Amino acid sequence: MFGFGKKIEKDPKKALENADKAINSGVSGFLTKTFMGQDFVDQTNASLNMAKNYTDTSNLSQTGMGGTADVLSIEDTGALINFNPVVRMKLRITPQFGPAFEATAETAVSKIAIPRVGDKINIKYNPANTSQILVI
């Protein structure tokens, strides 16, 4: 009931799924909505979705396709991951192989090296979902 004796989940994706279930279903979901309110549940779900997206892009450093990107526009989303800002960028991506293309993506960037419009940055991206990028 209070988590005593429960196994701690080490896989981030499964831990996020468990948190999603706890917030949105069953008795705990009902009590959360009743006592904390729908706004709290909506904010928590937005945070969980951002964390899920971040875990999807975190392994791009090993599996992503490399390339460079010209920053066409950038805006702050107001969110932070590990105290680094999450930004929404429109990019003109020039992959190592193949034609250039444009994509819009949300990603965490270093707070001491936030890209600006006109900058050329090194990235890795998921060719199956070009909105998943990692600034390297």
Q: Is 128 helix (H, G, I), strand (E, B) or coil?
A: coil
What mean pLDDT do residues 3-15 have? 72
Q: Which of 24, 91, 12 lies closest to 50, judged by CA? A: 12
CA distances 79 to 43, 58, 73, 132, Å, are: 11, 17, 18, 17
Q: Rounded distance, CA 39 to CA 108, Å? A: 25
Which one, of 63, 83, 82, lies nearest residue 136 by Cα? 63
Q: What is the pLDDT of residues 74-86, one digit of tens each?
A: 999 988 888 889 8
Report pLDDT for 19.
84
What pLDDT, in 10s, does the model give residues 33-73? 888 899 998 888 888 877 777 666 667 888 889 999 999 99
Query: pTM of this prediction?
Result: 0.64
State the Cα–Cα distance between residues 31 and 26, nearest whole angstrom.
Answer: 9
Q: Give the pLDDT confidence score for residue 32 in this predicted structure.
A: 87
Angle, CA 18 vertex, CA 15 and CA 19 arms, to 5°: 90
The domain spans of the chain are: 12-58, 65-135
Residue 88 has what pLDDT? 93
Picking from 10-14, 70-74, 91-95, 119-123, which range would have the lowest pLDDT averaged per residue?
A: 10-14
